[in-house]
Amino acid sequence: MKTRIIGLAVIGVVGLGLVACSGERQTVRGEDGERVEIAHGSAATRMTAVDLPSFLPVYPGGRIESTVGGVSSGSTGSQKGGMMVFVTGDAPDRVAAFYRSRLDGSGLTERTDANLNGVLMMTASSADDVDRGVQVSIAPEEHGSRVTLIYSNGGA
């Protein structure tokens, strides 16, 4: 599950570079036939906080800097997912406490929490649906935090 979410994000970030010059949407296919559609420009900016899972809102006062959203399909069906990056003036520990409480109420039971060289990382996934999960990364900045939310909603 974590591999699938991270894979979707990596494909999205790489694909974002591919579509920067070519237009609104790009489809990337993996070796196993999995397909990820990546939106860029005005298509990507249509992804808003409303597209995030209900338990994973943008931190209050967060300023969205970038988004990538799409639908991937492969041998296990299709799933909707994406990535959103935003900044906030609050310290990483305060932001992490907010997201831990959201994850506690999410129904996602498979959880990890780590501090990797000052970057706080949290993942949560469903034991019943391997295509449903989130990753929250909170990096310290000079005046607050940079937050990256990566999510997969399972069946699209």
Q: Is the pLDDT of residue 100 over 60?
A: yes
26 versus 153: the higher-pLDDT residue is: 153
Q: Give the residue ranges of DSSP H helices in 20-65.
A: 42-45
CA distances from 74 to 56, 111, 156 (A): 25, 25, 12
- pTM, two decimals, is 0.68
Cβ proximity of 39 and 70 under 8 Å: yes
Question: What is the rounded end-to-end Cα distance, in angstroms, of the chain?
Answer: 16
The two tokens of residue 85 are 């990056």
Express each pLDDT in 39-92 by its tens digit.
555 444 445 555 678 888 889 999 988 887 777 666 666 677 888 999 999 999
Express each pLDDT in 1-20 by its tens digit: 444 444 444 444 444 443 33
Asked if 19 and 117 touch (Cβ cutoff 8 Å), the reply is: no
- Using alpha carbons, select from 121, 138, 131, 136 the residue that is nearest to residue 153: 131
| pLDDT at residue 128, as a whole number | 84
pLDDT in tens, 111-153: 999 999 999 999 999 888 777 889 999 999 999 999 999 988 7
